[in-house]
Structure 1
Amino acid sequence: MPRSLRFCFFALLALSLAACASLGERDPLRIDLAGLEPLPGEGLEVRFAVKLRVQNPNDSAVDFDGVALDLEVNGQPLASGVSDQRGSVPRFGETLISVPVSISAFSAMRQAWGASGYRPGQGLPYELRGKLAGGLLGTHRFSDSGTLDWPETPRGY
């Protein structure tokens, strides 16, 4: 191997290792379900805007270019959605992202059937999974879970 080619190889190797080391450890983003707002639907589908609160506990901003999510309620798929919105979560900051999701008539019927046995005051478990696209090595996957409280019937009714 010629000397100049060997030098170029080792120089590229050193630069690659330095680039990997500069990425460092980043704390994961915190993404929580912040709310649901109704949207106009078509036909038998129901649509909502899922509001996500994204918190960045890192020392540098996180840019994103697209969002995808799936919502399960009571262990069954309920809604899914995507958005091509772009944005940035500031360093040690937060932002609110809105993603439109669709609920098919079949999913709504399955959920209604499953929830028919629930009593007032009983919670429905939910799980939210998705990703914030960020280009090469920049995609952030997330999940959130909790309980949607089934409203209690006021006394006297």
Structure 2
Amino acid sequence: MIGRWCLIVLLGLGLNGCALFQGRDPLNISVIGIEPLPGQGLELRMAVKIRVQNPNETPVDFNGIALNLEVNDQPLAAGVSNQRGHIDRYGEQVIVVPVSITAFAFLRQAYGLSQVESLQGLPYVLRGKLAGGPLGTLRFTDEGRLDLPDAAGG
């Protein structure tokens, strides 16, 4: 009898816990800048600036971030940071993450770009995750188009 009562209480608590996480909107992420950083050897380094907006009633605490950037449907850069942060409810924060571009990824991109007619409107996809906090890891994706300077005509 006691075991059955404990099971009912645990099921009730589990259902209430699931109800707390329903209706949470995804974070809004946008790339707002990319700046060069010093690299080593054949590696290129950049600082990717992203704006993270929290459209929810509850704040987001994080203790790490990871990014993967694809350009023109090819992997380009990846980076991680163990920085900590707090994004208020209905708040936003700019996060800077250092990313690395290997020589192989750079050459693959250069070859892919030589096959396109214009450097305008190249598709990019940024995938990442914010780690930690009471809600666990929050994954995000940002997609858009890059307009790179055209070497031929300025």
TM > 0.5: yes
Q: Map Cα deviations across residues 36-55 of structure 1 (whole Å, 9 max, x no partner).
A: 11111001100001111100
| Aligned equivalent of 1:16 | 14
Query: What amino acid is the match of 1:150?
Result: L
Q: Map Cα deviations across residues 62-111 of structure 1 (whole Å, 9 max, x no partner).
A: 11121111111111111011111111111001001111100011111221
Identity %: 60
User: Normalising by the residue count of structure 2, what TM-score does the alignment of the two structures yield?
Assistant: 0.88
Match among 2, 5, 9 for residue 3 of structure 2: 5
Query: What secondary structure is seen at the aligned counterpart in 2 of 1:37?
Result: strand
Identify if the C-alpha distance between structure 1 residues 114 and 22 changes in structure 2 by more than 3 Å, giving closer, same or farther.
closer
1:36 & 1:121 partners in 2: Cα distance? 17
Query: What secondary structure is seen at the aligned counterpart in 1 of 2:41?
Result: coil
| Contact 2:61–2:133 under 8 Å retained in 1 | no
Alpha-carbon RMSD? 1.9
Tell me how far 1:20 sits from its aligned partner.
1.9
Tell which structure's C-alpha radius of gyration is larger.
1
Query: What amino acid is the match of 1:46?
Result: L
* Structure 2: gaps of 5 or more residues: none
| Contact 2:72–2:122 under 8 Å retained in 1 | yes
Query: What amino acid is the match of 1:80?
Result: A
> Is 2:99 the counterpart of 1:65?
no
| Aligned equivalent of 1:86 | 84
Query: What secondary structure is seen at the aligned counterpart in 1 of 2:39?
Result: coil
Corresponding residue pairs, total: 152
Query: What secondary structure is seen at the aligned counterpart in 1 of 2:58?
Result: coil
Query: 129-138 vs 96-105, which deviates more?
Result: 129-138
| Aligned equivalent of 1:122 | 120
Identify if the C-alpha distance between structure 1 residues 121 and 16 changes in structure 2 by more than 3 Å, giving closer, same or farther.
closer
* Structure 1: gaps of 5 or more residues: none
Query: What amino acid is the match of 1:103?
Result: I
Q: Which runs of 4+ in 1 moved over 3 A?
A: 117-121
Query: 140-149 vs 55-64, which deviates more?
Result: 140-149
2:114 & 2:120 partners in 1: Cα distance? 12
Query: What amino acid is the match of 2:123?
Result: P
| Aligned equivalent of 2:147 | 149
